[in-house]
Structure 1
Amino acid sequence: MAPFSVSWHTLLEELDALPEGATLITPLSHDRFRVTDVQEQRVVIEFLDREIDETRPLQRDQFETLYRRITEEAGDFELDRLPADADPFPAVLSLHPRFEIDEDRGVIEEKEEATTSQLLDTAETSESDEHERTEPDLEVYADALLLVDALERHEVDVLEEIETDALVNLYTLLSDVQRNANDLRQDVADVLLNRLHHDRPVSGPFGSVQRTTRRNRTLKGDKEVLETLEEAGIDRERVLGVDREKVDDALEVTELSESDVYETEEREYVRKAEVDEERKESRLQGLKDQLAATGGEEAEELRQEIEDLEARIDELTEFKSGQAYHTRAGGEP
């Protein structure tokens, strides 16, 4: 095994050869950063997605510790064993021609042949940063744009003073945004799940997420459960109760009414009945045309408002549409 000093100077040479504006990405939090200074004893990086602590020195001795963990432990090291905020180190080390990050396995490993790195394509990154805003083909985007327009045209802080037809429009749009945003949120969660390791939080500009586990319990068959409990000295009468589904089945074959066995409480609520998709599409196209034709500061303000709304889409999912509740004795609502 070559001494660390040889690998360190090879890494420094790779860092010196990086093109201007080259961007790297950390394997755990997927933060983007750039190398701003290369010194004999440290590497200075600057995060691109952080508002605080954006500049950070990475010391040589810490790289050496990671190097020895990899080379002395079967040639790889599990990324989730890294200390908090240490994932820039494997990202930088992956620039060395013999070290590579395998995100599927969650490790950084040593290779005999040349490897890939955590370096983003600089041409692609630059082009993406300078590219004009494009409209995503998502239903939630269209409904969000319509919602922004509706919120701008009405004094929503005083709902009692808004006309009924305007309230109907607001409720319809909020309902559509809630549904479509929740669908998109679930799609995003499915992708994120493969990138999160155990319970380590991962942060972004607007918040953080972490992987959690939810336990769902389902009873085994009635006979097996009762026999198991009886063997443990539990009388079956202690666990037997009224099954609501079986009660409903019994009501259908008897002359008993629902009120004979249920206490019912009715609550009135508002439910979206239908959506005029043609009207929405017409208004949406008008907004798009207005945005395309508007120039200068006014256009930029409108675009910024749309961006702000997109950032708050997750908050909109907290709006709860009306639901009917039937509270019955001995059961859940």
Structure 2
Amino acid sequence: MNDDDWADLRSRCERLDPGSELVTPLSDRPFRIDATDDDRIVVRFADSGEERPLWREQFDVFDDQLEGQATAIGDLQPGVEPYAAVITLSDAYVVEDDAIGRAPEAATGGESPFLVSAADARTPPERVHDDALLLAHVIERLAVDDRSDLESLDTDSLTDYYVLASDVQRGANEVRSTARDELLERLGPDQELHGQFGTVRRTTRERRRPKDDETVLAALDERGIPREWVLGVDPDKLDVVLSVTDLSEDEVYDSSEDVYVQKTGVDEDEKYSRLQGIADRIEDLEDAEGEALRDELDEIEDRLEKALTAG
């Protein structure tokens, strides 16, 4: 790797958007660029917090392997994976047909398939936080308090309001499920755990499902119970009959129509762009007004803590 290629690679790493990640080509381990130096690029793996220097001399070795012949991604060794991911940021390299090689003169490299944007690199809790912040901002901007306020909204604003509320609900359910599994590891029978905002306890629900048909019918026959008492119409089998006979649906089905709103798309780029704008505005609160706001929040937290302790 000549000096120009190394300079280009370092420059590409330094210009990555804050929060963006790379993933190793085979093991899919996400990592971020922490720093660059004359002889190394320092990365940090998200799954372990491990910091690792990627040395220029090792990039040189990998570059020599690519001289004249591309390297199949499937042949990469674990220790080489981060080098392979980072090197594809440079204009001098390209990924084609599941192999990494030097970019031909007529081709443009640097379009790494292992680069994950800052918006896509967010963890599920971070996505919930961001969506909730956007929803709170929309509620504040639109001054939404009850249904009568919604009736006065223009259609675009009402659509955004619904989409964000849906995203918060879905994301919160995913985070809640993860927290539930961890809490079940800590909760014993009839035990309660208390936090500042509420209490949880282990609850057991019994779920029943019939055994296989032969077992159920044999048990009924043994006790002289007529099979007709439990036999019913199987909707799946009924649909098969409808498809192969002239039997009509209205003869065997009672139909009703439910009308609902279905979210069919989300513009994550627009959401993230708007979120960055809000974040920039928060960072700009460095004057007396911003300091007063932070002091007020600290005071509220202190009062809440005292109230909870007293209770």
Normalised by the length of structure 2, the TM-score is 0.52
Give the match for residue 177 of structure 1.
Answer: 168
| CA offset digits 1:141-196 (Å, max 9, x no partner) | 11111111101101212111111110000000000000000000000001110111
Structure 2 counterpart of 1:219, from 210, 227, 251: 210
Q: 1:287 is aligned with what amino acid?
A: I
SS of the residue 2:199 aligns to:
strand
**Per-residue deviation, 1:298:** 3.6
User: Could you tell me how far apart the structure 1 residues matched to 2:270 and 2:224 are?
Assistant: 67
Give the match for residue 133 of structure 2.
Answer: 145
Alignment of structure 1 residues 79-228 onto 2, 5 Å: 138-157=126-145, 158-228=149-219
Moved segments of 4+, more than 3 Å: 296-305
| CA offset digits 1:14-40 (Å, max 9, x no partner) | xxxxxxxxxxxxxxxxxxxxxxxxxxx
SS of the residue 2:253 aligns to:
coil
Structure 2 counterpart of 1:268, from 249, 259, 262: 259
| CA offset digits 1:98-142 (Å, max 9, x no partner) | xxxxxxxxxxxxxxxxxxxxxxxxxxxxxxxxxxxxx98621011
User: Could you tell me how far apart the structure 2 residues matched to 1:238 and 1:273 are?
Assistant: 44
Identity score, percent: 46
CA distance 1:176–1:304, shift in 2 (3 Å): farther
8 Å CA contact retained: 1:201, 1:209 = yes
**Per-residue deviation, 1:279:** 1.0
CA distance 1:270–1:300, shift in 2 (3 Å): farther
- Is 1:242 matched with 2:233? yes
Q: 1:206 is aligned with what amino acid?
A: F
Give the match for residue 58 of structure 2.
Answer: none
| CA offset digits 1:66-119 (Å, max 9, x no partner) | xxxxxxxxxxxxxxxxxxxxxxxxxxxxxxxxxxxxxxxxxxxxxxxxxxxxxx
Q: 2:250 is aligned with what amino acid?
A: S
**Per-residue deviation, 1:212:** 1.1
Normalised by the length of structure 1, the TM-score is 0.48
CA distance 1:241–1:304, shift in 2 (3 Å): farther
User: Could you tell me how far apart the structure 1 residues matched to 2:150 and 2:270 are?
Assistant: 23
**Per-residue deviation, 1:297:** 4.1
8 Å CA contact retained: 1:155, 1:162 = no
| CA offset digits 1:248-279 (Å, max 9, x no partner) | 12111112222221111112211111111111
8 Å CA contact retained: 1:291, 1:299 = no
Q: 1:275 is aligned with what amino acid?
A: V
- Is 1:229 matched with 2:220? yes
CA distance 1:145–1:192, shift in 2 (3 Å): same
Structure 2 unaligned runs (5+)?
1-121, 302-311
CA distance 1:246–1:226, shift in 2 (3 Å): same
User: Could you tell me how far apart the structure 2 residues matched to 1:289 and 1:152 are?
Assistant: 17
User: Could you tell me how far apart the structure 2 residues matched to 1:300 and 1:182 are?
Assistant: 35
Q: 1:167 is aligned with what amino acid?
A: L
CA distance 1:237–1:249, shift in 2 (3 Å): same
Structure 1 unaligned runs (5+)?
1-134, 309-333
CA RMSD, 1 decimal: 2.5
**Per-residue deviation, 1:294:** 1.0
Q: 1:146 is aligned with what amino acid?
A: L
| CA offset digits 1:217-249 (Å, max 9, x no partner) | 121111111011110221111111112222112
**Per-residue deviation, 1:300:** 6.5
User: Could you tell me how far apart the structure 1 residues matched to 2:226 and 2:176 are?
Assistant: 47
- Is 1:281 matched with 2:238? no
Larger RCO: 1 or 2 (CA < 8 Å, sep 6+) = 1
CA distance 1:297–1:211, shift in 2 (3 Å): farther
Q: 1:144 is aligned with what amino acid?
A: A
